[in-house]
Structure 1
Amino acid sequence: MKSLVILFALIIFNISSAFASNNPAKKLDSTYTFGAFDKNSGKRLAATFKIYFKSTADPMVIQGTLQGDIQFKPATKGQYEVEISMPNYITKRVPLDLENLGAGKTNFKELLEIALDEYIILITDAKDKQIITTAQVKVFDETRQEVEAKVNPKTGEWKAMLDNSKSYNIQIEAPGYQSTSLDINAKSNNKFISVALQKNASQVASFIAVDAITKEPIAASYKVLRPEEETLMGQSDKTNPYKIEFNPKKKFTVEVSSEGYKPISVPVSFEPTPNDQGMVKVLLKKFELQKDTYSFLFKIIDAQTRENIVNTRMRIINLKNKQSIAAKIEKEGFSANLSPDTEYSIEVESDGYRQADQTINFKDLITRQQFVQEILLIRKTEEQYRLIVVDEETNKNVPGANLRVFNAKNEPITIATTNVQSEWLADLKIAEQYNVEVKTEGYLAYRAPILKGNKTLTLKIRKVPVADIYFMVTDFYTKNILPSNYKLKTGNTLVEGSINPEKTRYKATLTPDKSYEIEVTSEGYPVYKELVNQAKAVDNVIRIELKKTGYNFTFNPVDAKTGEVIPNVKISLTDGGNQVLAVNNYVAKAVSPQNFEKKYSLTAQVANYKPVNENIDLKDMAVANFSREIRMEKIEVVQTPPPTQEKPKPEEKAPEKKVEAPVIVAETPKQPEKKAPDESVKLLTSAIADDYFKGIAVGLPVKLENVYFDQSQPVIKPQSYPELDKLVSLLKRYPKMMIEVVGHTDNVGDPRMNLYLSELRAKAVTNYLFNKGVSPNRLTHKGRGQEQPISANDTEENRQKNRRVEFVVTEFN
């Protein structure tokens, strides 16, 4: 406290010094004290003093305290003004005459009046003087700005803080009363304002909302629209209505809404209706609301056991627009929201029960508040199934299908056709098992048990898979293709086919469900008949090998050195039983294939040549096209000069020369020269240097660059033929060249299947070469599968490199 006094003293001293410095010649020693007090309570106020001297623009400010007066030393004589201000108090400005300092006041004290006072406003009934707790009070200042006014809900008193220096307007309203307003001057000493309101000539109405069908009360919200009056809002529930007081001479509109109901807007007016005591009675106004839909629960019940049926299906059909209404599956059945203004049909079905169809008057059910409905289902002993036969690929009905249904005793039962082709209806006993059988021309036979679940069974049948099969006739031994005539039948029906101009290949379409008889005639061979089917085809080719009743074997004796044919050679064939096979003019004619199993000793003799004795196998000779070359070595002889002979007479033939017995000079047989492997390779390479396949050597694999197959199949694509035809040309150009065709795959899939596929593809290539006239003796094939990759199997491009077919020259003479 002392420090605060000292602070004010210092401030006053500094101010006094400042005034003195302005006019040091007129320095004064007089001291004044200032103080401010509340006019009503007399309490000291910490007011602010602003001291103005004549025309000084900036006043000297002195802050008052609550402890005591503050001191002021004027700097010079003259007229002063002091402005005293305090928050919530009226500011005062008073003159201070300091001309005659001796006569001046030593104490300067001022009383301040409070600027804001608390006013109490009480609204009462003009007749019974009771406080109107429903009154609404609004206070506006001179600028029409609303001043805050608060109500005590317990007492109904309104309070407002008002500035004593201003005037205010108070507006008062209360339901059922005439509104009023008044002006007040805050300078008045009366801080309590009481206003009495006169009641309107009004009437009380109770509003309640009910369901339009059930007439049951429901919770609702109300909006009362009154012309030139405030809109009223309220709620009612099932037991408490919404009450309003209104002027019966006025019309108003009530908007009513409730969750789940259509809102309504109703014009309302009442005529005053006093009761027996002359009092206006309370009116009750009911508003009927219509729901869009009502929720129903449907329980599906077994008609005999009265138990709930769990696995059921229900359809609710709007009979106006024929649309289905979604039903929600509940624990006890199905629930659905349905309109009372719409007629519905309900269809319920369950496995083992008869279907229930009902048309229900829901408006009647709503009126009776029956929102839970039981639908009874009757068990059935039979169920009707719809059987449809369709094509497995197209999924379309198969015309002309023949369908039969068999019971557990394999007895056919009666079924009914429908208006749709390949559809039938069958009434099947629930406790019995059935099989269905379908037979249709061009389709595989179908037989399977009927699985009782779905009442519509779609039976998918597969077309008989057809394939173009090629028939080729070859000699059993030589494998040479034989031009032939073909006749193919299934049963008594002749199957049409096509044959190429050379008559070496016959094509016909076969199905796996049939057997066929092929009849082949080929010149020099007996007529051949055989039962065949699609399963006998290898790579879509059925090969028929024919045997003659007798074959001609040709022997060609030649000089071992010159290769020239040796005439007059005597050739004989003797089997192990010393049976001789006649050979005339180097040909053994009409040799029966039965003799091919025998081993024969061949003897070849002629003058001047060493005799030849060797064992031969007719079967091997047959494979070599029934021809055998006999290489004979000439005997070196020393001959004496021939004797002079007489010339024969013209009529006589010259006598035959007599050959003297040769002098045999023993010689060491010469071994045939062996060529070095490198020389053979060089010879082969240079021999075909300008051909399509370059750089060929014995044992060196050559890739067929443009040979393609169907996906995962050994079927050669047509775009491969030009490449293979070039290989055919090469083999025909070099008739003694022998090759091996090798197939390769990538490493995708089962290695065993890859090996099998590669072998089939290699075989397909040799078959193509064979069909183009290359002897099978010159062809072999082999599958390597994924064993010999030429590139990593890490990308599709590299795997494509590994999927290849190669050929290797195994022999070249």
Structure 2
Amino acid sequence: MRSLVILIAFSIFNICSAFATHTSAKKLDSTYTFGAFDKATGKRLAATFKIYFKTTDPLIIQGTLQSDVQFKPATKGQYEVEISMPNYVSKRIPLNLENLGAGKTNFKEVLEVAVDEYIILITDAKDKQIITSAIVKVYDDANKEVEAKVNPKTGEWKTMLDVSKNYRIDIEAPGYQGTSMEIQGVDVTKVAKTPSKFISVSLQKNASQVASFIATDAITHEPLIANYKVLRPEETTLTGQSNKNEPYKIEFNPKKKFTVEVSADGYKTITEAISFDQTMIDRGIPSALLKKFELQKDTYSFLFKIIDSQTKANIISTRMRIINLSTKQSIAGKIEKEGFSANLSPDTEYSIEVESEGYQQANQNINLKELIAKNQFVQEILLVRKSTEQYRLIVVDEENDKNVAGANLRIFNAKNEPITISTTNVQSEWLADLKIAEQYTAEVKTQGYLALRTPVLKTNKTVYLKIKKVPTAEVYFMVTDFYTKNILPSDYKLKTGNTLVEGTMNPEKTRFKATLSPDKSYEIEVVSDGYPAYKETVNQTKAVNNVITLELKKTGYDFTFNPIDSKTGAAIPNVKITLVDANNQSIPVTNNEAKSVSPKSFEKKYSLNAQAANYKAFSETLDLMDMVAANKHDIVMEKADPVQAPPPVVEKPKVEEKTVAKKEENPTPAPPIATPKEPEKKEPEKPVVSSIADDYFKGIAIGTPVKLENVYFDQSQPVIKPQSFPELDRLVSLLKRYPKMSIEIVGHTDNVGDPRMNLYLSELRAKAVSNYLFNKGIAPNRLTHKGKGQEQPVSANDTEENRQKNRRVEFIVLEL
């Protein structure tokens, strides 16, 4: 009745809306509104509205519980509106919008509930009594089970179904024939009456019954995987299996007797005659047809945990024996994470023996029947710690784990007091009785090894004390001239104490490689042609980048002076050269050469004087230390001015001479003439120059490396070859044209050979170029040098051509 009233109300509302729309058609309002309501309650629904037009995708508008949804069509024509809501029957209505704004513009639609509650009752076909043991399962079209719930008191089943869909209902009950039924869905919009929500199903009793068998452990009552053999007189024997989740089921005639044999792995097989209570079966009690079998194990699994009696912690490293007291035989146990496990028979008595390092042995008898009755399958065996334990201490080489002969071992207690230890028949092995609860320290000393002091780790009865050999390092020896820094071919002899140390020498005899130990001192003896024999005591600390350089001094050095014309550069003959120090001590110079000059002279500065016919006298202060590397020095002399004849002398009268003389005797000074001071002129500031243009050296700028082409050295030596002089002289000319220019000479090598030697050689070669420039008259404060070795290649070191590019000398302008 209520639904009819609501329906009439909605009809009146729609008529009014249509009338209102008609009267306002002249406004041509093209906005349409839609609302959805529950048919039974009249409540607004948050339905989904899909508006279809021709073949385009639908416009989807989601409704709300507050108001209608609005739709403004862009094109006139025939539309369709689909209204849907979960658990409600969908509705699709046509919408004629050929004349936009005219006709009905507000639509109120009601939806019917699609899902409803169904009640299912299962009854006995004969006595019409409800079968409370029945099982009802409901499936949809996709064979997916739909939830169905039973009231255990009344046996009534309830489920929620969609009246528009198809379902299948399967029904079973112990002692009854099962059945299935179909529920056909209906379109409630097209039928006057919906199907009934009450379903009653009657089941016929079976002549036979279905029994369920399960097997459990007699003690733990846990379900088992069991095998069954059903022996039926005058009928076929049945076999089957039950698991932990599903029982074994058989169909039988309650009036006939049968026997069941049950077996399971690890359990004793049992055989039992089966009978059921027919009265309970007739009453439909489920347990009436369920039979449980309790099986007894042959053996039970026990876990034995070995526990420290004081700390209660598990003891991992243990040995355990389980002895059968009847046969006196050991039973095999299995090592587990927490201890040992074993399968033991409850009808046998056992004894357990446990040993562990640092603990007293434990012996314990166990009564399995009592433990099984109490369900105590995990047992703890307590061990008591010993006060002392004997340990074997072995000193071994860390690299090869071999005993080190001649090692000296001392053991100290917690008070740092040495304790008594005893040797064994094996070298470098000792025995020591150590207290379990006390910490000890071992100290090992032996020749050729680093001293060791370490705690004694008592995790094992045998303690290995590993010592390291004294670390060694490969060191290169090189001999250079103290002043020139040239590398000298030499013979080497290296000793430590009275022991000769082996080494290797390169073919040029410029490098000697040997292995040095940091704990030793060495004596190196070298012999080089033209130099006195030399000895020096060295060790690893004297090595720089693993190179020890020995610098030798000659008893005398030769110097050559090269007098040249300042304009033509031609050699000047017959020049008298003298070298005199501040104490007027001279060094003889014959034929432009000073022979066997003592290095002591290098500590002084000398005045260099040169005289030659038709040239101005030349003088400069010279430091022999600066020119010793090149052994040559240019004396640049200028041509003397030509001598002119004096003008003729004209004699004057004596009188005039006297007059003039008198006038000159008392001259009257003229008054000074005041001259106005001119304003002091300030020179304009010169702009900072950062680059220059040169016809030969390209790209000269501050900080930019410029390569010196065609500069060559002797193999593995810092000695400049003569074919390099033209290139270096061009650099001299550049430096003289720009007297404020200062540069840094940088040497580079390829990657062939030892990187440390390459770095050292590159620095010596850079210094050799710097010395050449100095001996050509470039002030030393304008020159610096540096070696980079193989650190900055300009090409890959993969071919000889590319390696040649990396062997170079560059200069970098520091200041202009």
TM-score grouping bracket, smaller chain normalisation:
0.3 to 0.5
- The TM-score, its normalising length taken from structure 1, stands at 0.47
